[in-house]
Amino acid sequence: MSNLSTTSDDILACARSLIVAGGYNGFSYADIADVVGIRKASIHHHFPSKVDLVRTLVARYREEAEAGMANLELQVSDPLEQLRSYAGYWEACIADASAPFCVCALLASQLPVLPAEVGLEVRAHFRSLSAWLTSVLERGARHGQLQLMSTPRAEAEAFMATVHGAMLSARAYGDPKIFGAVTGPLLERLQIRS
Amino acid sequence: MSNLSTTSDDILACARSLIVAGGYNGFSYADIADVVGIRKASIHHHFPSKVDLVRTLVARYREEAEAGMANLELQVSDPLEQLRSYAGYWEACIADASAPFCVCALLASQLPVLPAEVGLEVRAHFRSLSAWLTSVLERGARHGQLQLMSTPRAEAEAFMATVHGAMLSARAYGDPKIFGAVTGPLLERLQIRS
DNA sequence: GACGGCCATCCTACCAGAAGGTAGACAAAG
DNA sequence: CTTTGTCTACCTTCTGGTAGGATGGCCGTC
């Protein structure tokens, strides 16, 4: 009943946290081997090459992200509350330092030196996140629940950029609170004022 | 009269563009040697270690940035116009692909794996940029030239984060225009409306 | 003006360790 | 008796870095 081969999951989880810390070139098979308690060669059994490893890692990350958005659609009806949940998710991740950066955001910064296959996955995440944010904002505006200053699409891009920038600032300042300090007003601005 | 040893400048310029492309671990002495047309060992004459190279590179970048802000203070009096110039500078850099990312923003994303000395310089840039933005916004608000929705400090952090996030999005989408699409409305929002 | 020393620059050659990756043996499970 | 997962051992290339020798400009001295 338990997952078959939790080892490969361990490898993915470990690689993910190493990527979040230092990007594609910031870790090696040896690093993973040390943490997971396995030999380098054994990792190659699960993921023949580093590109395989990172590609499936990002693919899985994307699945989780899509699932998260879908879940938010089901669980939360109010658009503003959906955005709050999204920002809140990251605020919690950053606060407890469990995963203080979006894997795809970090990899995107290194796009020019990324293997093409990984780059494609990363770009796809940006498109899907942006599409979801656009739909949320569009719906909020249409139902008079959100106050937009420009098109939903433009507002979504700005929202996404600000969230990513806030992650960066939190890391640069070494202060998790800065994330909330930036995203809080971002959400307030979307709120309908009487 | 000409600069003494333009070679070391060439090395710094080359390293800068390589860092902008792939971060600290995204380039090697061999890469620089190839581009500059010099042997690996010769680079060590100018910069004994990679840490030396990157530290002085970032230090110089910071000097240029500070000089740029000081210059903006002298040349442009209107706060909104100063911000527009700042954003416009990056918009141009991204559009012509000459330096499509802030060195410090890129390095900040890898802070956990950065040598401590480099990390210090990177953090210092964030503080000085944020301080300048804060002062511009504060002055603009005080003189009734800008419309702020919260404190100058908070607004400055949000501004900086959005600009950095816009760089990331432009890279992720492979589309320079997205930078202007995000920063344009950001500036508009600060404008006084009658 | 010639001479020798100094020093900055660049070179070839080399090194140790880390990188990603391969080959093949072994054990356990089905 | 094959499949799955792990291991040891090894390979090649890259990595940052070192040692020491050539070159050549600049200096003060004779």
**What is the extent of the structural domain holding A164?**
6-190
* Residue B156 near chain A (CB below 8 Å): no
pLDDT (0 to 100) of residue B6: 87
Could you say which of A22, A178, A182 has the minimum Cβ distance to residue B113?
A: A22
Query: Would A26 be classed as within a structural domain?
Result: yes
- Give the gap in angstroms from C-alpha B5 to the nearest C-alpha of chain A: 30
What residues are paired with A146 via a beta bridge? Answer: A191
pLDDT along chain B (194 residues), means of 10: 70 98 98 97 97 98 98 96 98 95 98 98 98 98 95 97 98 98 97 78
Find out whether A20 and A106 touch, Cβ atoms under 8 Å. Answer: yes
Query: Would A168 be classed as within a structural domain?
Result: yes
| 3-class SS of residue B130 | helix
In Å, how far are A136, A145, A146, B37 from A142, measured between CA atoms? 10, 8, 8, 59
Chain A residues within 8 A of B122 when measuring between CB atoms: 172
CB B6 within 7 Å, strand C: no
Burial label, B143 (beta-carbon count in 10 A; 0-12, 13-18, 19+):
exposed
pLDDT (0 to 100) of residue A193: 73
Query: Would A85 be classed as within a structural domain?
Result: yes
Looking at the C1' of nucleotide C10, which residue has the nearest alpha carbon? B42
CATH assignment at residue B73:
1.10.357.10
Could you say which of A113, A158, A182 has the minimum Cβ distance to residue B26?
A: A113
Tokens representing B76? 């442009």
Find out whether A161 and A111 touch, Cβ atoms under 8 Å. Answer: no
Domain count, chain B: 1
* Residue B58 near chain A (CB below 8 Å): no
What gap in Å lies between CA A60 and CA A153, rounded to an integer? Answer: 26
Chain A residues within 8 A of B123 when measuring between CB atoms: 172-174
Query: Would A1 be classed as within a structural domain?
Result: no
What gap in Å lies between CA B40 and CA B56, rounded to an integer? Answer: 18
pLDDT (0 to 100) of residue B192: 86
* Residue A105 near chain B (CB below 8 Å): yes
* Residue B189 near chain A (CB below 8 Å): yes
pLDDT (0 to 100) of residue B20: 98
Q: Is the dihedral of CA B113, B35, B1, B70 positive or negative?
A: negative
Q: Do A182 and B108 touch (CB under 8 A)?
A: no
- Helix residue ranges, H only, A76-190: 79-95, 103-109, 116-142, 152-173, 177-190
Query: Would B30 be classed as within a structural domain?
Result: no
The tens place of each residue's pLDDT in chain A, 194 residues long, gives 344 568 999 999 999 999 999 999 999 999 999 999 999 999 999 999 999 999 999 999 999 999 999 999 999 999 999 999 999 999 999 999 999 999 999 999 999 999 999 999 999 999 999 999 999 999 999 999 999 999 999 999 999 999 999 999 999 999 999 999 999 999 999 998 76
Contacts for A9 with CB less than 8 Å, ≥ 6 apart: A3
- Give the gap in angstroms from C-alpha B178 to the nearest C-alpha of chain A: 8
Query: Would B49 be classed as within a structural domain?
Result: no
Instruction: List, for residues A131-144, the tens digit of each pLDDT value.
Output: 999 999 999 999 99
CB contacts < 8 A (A, B): 142
Could you say which of B104, B165, B185 has the minimum Cβ distance to residue A154?
A: B185
pLDDT (0 to 100) of residue B126: 98
